[in-house]
Amino acid sequence: MKVLAAMSGGVDSAVAAARAVDAGWDVTGVHLALSRTPAALRAGSRGCCSREDANDARRSADVLGIPFYVWDFAERFHAEVIEDFVAEYAAGHTPNPCLRCNEKIKFSALLDRALALGFDAVVTGHHARLVDGVLSRSVDAAKDQSYVLAVLTPQQLRHAAFPIGDSTKEQVRTEAARRGLAVANKPDSHDICFIADGDTQGFLARQLGERPGDIVDADGTVVGSHAGTFGFTVGQRRGLNLSRPTPSGEPRYVLAIQPKTNTVVVGSAAQLEVDLVRASRPVWIAARPAGEFRCEVQLRAHGLTSEAVVQAGVDGLTAVLTEPQRGVAAGQALVMYDGDRVLGSATISSAERTRAVVR
């Protein structure tokens, strides 16, 4: 099998490529240049987009003895991921750019090109497994990335391989050190790769300009002001700078973002709880299910899981949560699981509190 290993310069993708070599596959390493103006050196906790990261990937490829190239996907990344990220925030949503990058770049632009060039699959260092072709959680629950891959269609997953999904991060690091890969102790990346200083609000303000408006509580009383609704996400507590505290002194959270009226609605933790989630653009691992079914849903990249009863429609679904959840934001993915196996995913469009709470 001839595969293209996407190598970010991090330890996960380096070990994934190494295991692909061990599997006897014909492996070519590719680093995706995603920034129009790459910095010379890595800064902060970003893990991919500097020339130093490209060089780390190259050095891993050298150790593995595989051909290595840098491919420029900066324009495509900007159009598909960064512009989408900004537009989603402008619409009052909370996007996940890593998910979008998997959907539009790694397993679309890159995969399409790889297949056309005669490769059979794209190999990445994601912490996830393919069990009988079905996307499943990594054995390392804390590092599991199946959530940001669940948007992939079965056709895309047929040409994907995730060689490190059956190992923990610690095992991956140990193996990297044993193999002599210099990235064995490279710090994990956390921040959004295209926001160099980690300041998402500042980035959005530069892209969208300041748009001052009111922060109101659930009954419409103005309790503060903001520089732009894009600075907020549902469930956010810090950074509100409210001028009027609640009578009881309990903390307030962002309940809703309303870009049309340029308003941010805040309220108590209890008001944040939702039990009905609507989602659109569903992707199923097989045929769309008829009727209701019970499964586990995950509503954020890390945590926020609940049992739910899902009702699937033609172009959307609703999930009634067994346990009410706080911080469910439009724009995030709703991913459905049967144990470790992914059943499908959809994009959250709205969430609310209903009477049909199943306690």
Catalytic residues: 101, 193
41 binds other proteins (CB under 8 A): no
38 binds other proteins (CB under 8 A): yes
Helix (H), strand (E) at residue 241: none
Q: Segment 231-270, which members bind other proteins (CB under 8 A)?
A: none
> Which residue, 171 or 311, is less far from other proteins as judged by CB?
311
Is residue 6 within 8 A of residue 106, CB to CB? The reply is: yes
175 binds other proteins (CB under 8 A): no
Q: Which of 16-24, 91-99, 116-124, 254-262 is the region at the interface with other proteins (rule: CB under 8 A)?
A: 116-124
Main-chain dihedrals φ then ψ at residue 52, nearest 5 degrees: -65, -40
176 binds other proteins (CB under 8 A): no
Is residue 310 within 8 A of residue 346, CB to CB? The reply is: no
Among 62, 83, 112, 170, binds other proteins (CB under 8 A): 112
156 binds other proteins (CB under 8 A): yes
Closest CB 331 distance from other proteins, rounded Å? 19
Of 159, 108, 127, 149, nearest to 13 by C-alpha is 127
Is residue 108 within 8 A of residue 76, CB to CB? The reply is: no
Of 122, 126, 124, 121, nearest to 165 by C-alpha is 126
Got the DSSP string for 163-210?
Answer: TTTTS-HHHHHHHHHHTT-GGGGPPPP-S-TT-TTS-HHHHHHHHH--
357 binds other proteins (CB under 8 A): no
353 binds other proteins (CB under 8 A): no
Q: Segment 198-227, which members bind other proteins (CB under 8 A)?
A: none
Closest CB 223 distance from other proteins, rounded Å? 43
Of 127, 53, 60, 150, nearest to 345 by C-alpha is 150
CA-CA distance, 5 to 67, in Å (whole number)? Answer: 10
83 binds other proteins (CB under 8 A): no
54 binds other proteins (CB under 8 A): yes
115 binds other proteins (CB under 8 A): yes
196 binds other proteins (CB under 8 A): no
> Which residue, 74 or 172, is less far from other proteins as judged by CB?
74
Alpha carbon distances (Å) from 151 to 3, 101, 102, 349: 22, 11, 8, 15
Among 104, 127, 173, 252, binds other proteins (CB under 8 A): 104
Is residue 266 within 8 A of residue 246, CB to CB? The reply is: no
Strands across the sheet containing 2-6: 68-72, 26-33, 2-6, 121-123, 160-161
Helical axes 11-22 vs 169-178, angle rounded to 10°? 70
CA-CA distance, 4 to 120, in Å (whole number)? Answer: 8
154 binds other proteins (CB under 8 A): yes
Q: Which of 175-183, 210-218, 280-288, 313-321 is the region at the interface with other proteins (rule: CB under 8 A)?
A: 280-288
Closest CB 255 distance from other proteins, rounded Å? 33
Among 41, 142, 286, 314, binds other proteins (CB under 8 A): 286
Is residue 276 within 8 A of residue 351, CB to CB? The reply is: yes
343 binds other proteins (CB under 8 A): yes
Closest CB 265 distance from other proteins, rounded Å? 35
> Which residue, 71 or 179, is less far from other proteins as judged by CB?
71
Q: Segment 303-342, which members bind other proteins (CB under 8 A)?
A: 338, 341
Q: Binding residues for other proteins, per CB under 8 A?
A: 28, 31, 33, 38, 51, 54, 58, 67, 69-72, 76, 79, 103-104, 108-109, 111-113, 115-118, 132-134, 153-156, 158-159, 285-287, 289-291, 293-294, 338, 341, 343
